[in-house]
Structure 1
């Protein structure tokens, strides 16, 4: 997808589903960390936390007990509509959601103790600017090799044919240039087993893994063949490749 197409896709997904995949029935083997647990380990009760690309706010609301104030931002009005609904249902009083571009954060310098970003674009200089001294930035991103067998089957996909490690290396370099003193990177390539075809279709419908999935009838023929070839006793096998960067200011 080009940026305009992705923005439209993300906005529509936001209204329909938010960034909530909790209903998916999937077994994961080999994941080296849980991003929310990583964030919690860096939070203190008096901290103020910013979440960039918060989506429907599902992950941020789950962190509400970990900090004094949590602010989630997103460019998508559709996502923020879902986030507002989720906030109302949660009863949380220490979480806020704002419409904002990550490239221009409308916050004072050194305002946040922790800044997070999960599977979304960020700008290292802005993240560094709004962080306090000794603050920490954490991001988890989708690596180029994610869902590799699916992309091969369809002949297209998110970061299809991009150089392995390119995104991680670019972000690490940008964080270093922004003045972060200590930067750690970690990676994993886990095996995923989707329990049913419906679970896999839900994933493809609400993520950009295979752009424009389902717009052409041949996509479902390809998917059926993929399921036949990758069906196991545990489910339909693919992979989840992720990296995390922890940068201390």
Structure 2
């Protein structure tokens, strides 16, 4: 890669990593997957998860070779470590993931209200930060609180949905996924959280419910709606962090 030109080629080269890893390049930052969906049936999941290591390694090599990668990744709203952790969570529990597609295929009024509240909070944050000339530290403190509040609101909403697929194991898996996908600037390390009432405390992931999980009814489908269902970002009305930062801070490096 020519470093001087990588600002124009990095996104394309990251997409090429999917092809080089034997995966569909359309999955890269697509509206239906946003880089987090691993498939909608056993075969697709097996293929993606088997190639996950090669895919992440390829993407990391391309990023390491580009001095301007941090700015580019912010612009396309991609954090590779978070991406890797997110897909790893799903790959470790394919039966629970597949069962959950039916739960999350259709939204509810409560889920929609959570997303609307989050969007409104982020718009307000944008205005306050610009008008008040906030420091990045103050901005991130407020942003991260909104992100954590959204995880809690979202999971409570899905947990109250009256659907046979919305079992504790499924809701717990989604909670773990959402916690792993929180922006890295928020420093949410689920392995180090000790407060039992914290939104992302590991006990709330219901990992014991995933043991010997049996999806007897076979809930997964190949529809676009199902492919997007387990991905919290695909359904969220959330303003990307990169867009907020660009609006608040005019300098090129954050």
Q: Same fold (TM over 0.5)?
A: no
**TM-score category (smaller protein):** under 0.3
More helix by share: 2
More strand by share: 1
Quick one: higher RCO (CA 8 Å, sep 6+), 1 or 2? 2
Query: TM-score, length-normalised on structure 2?
Result: 0.26
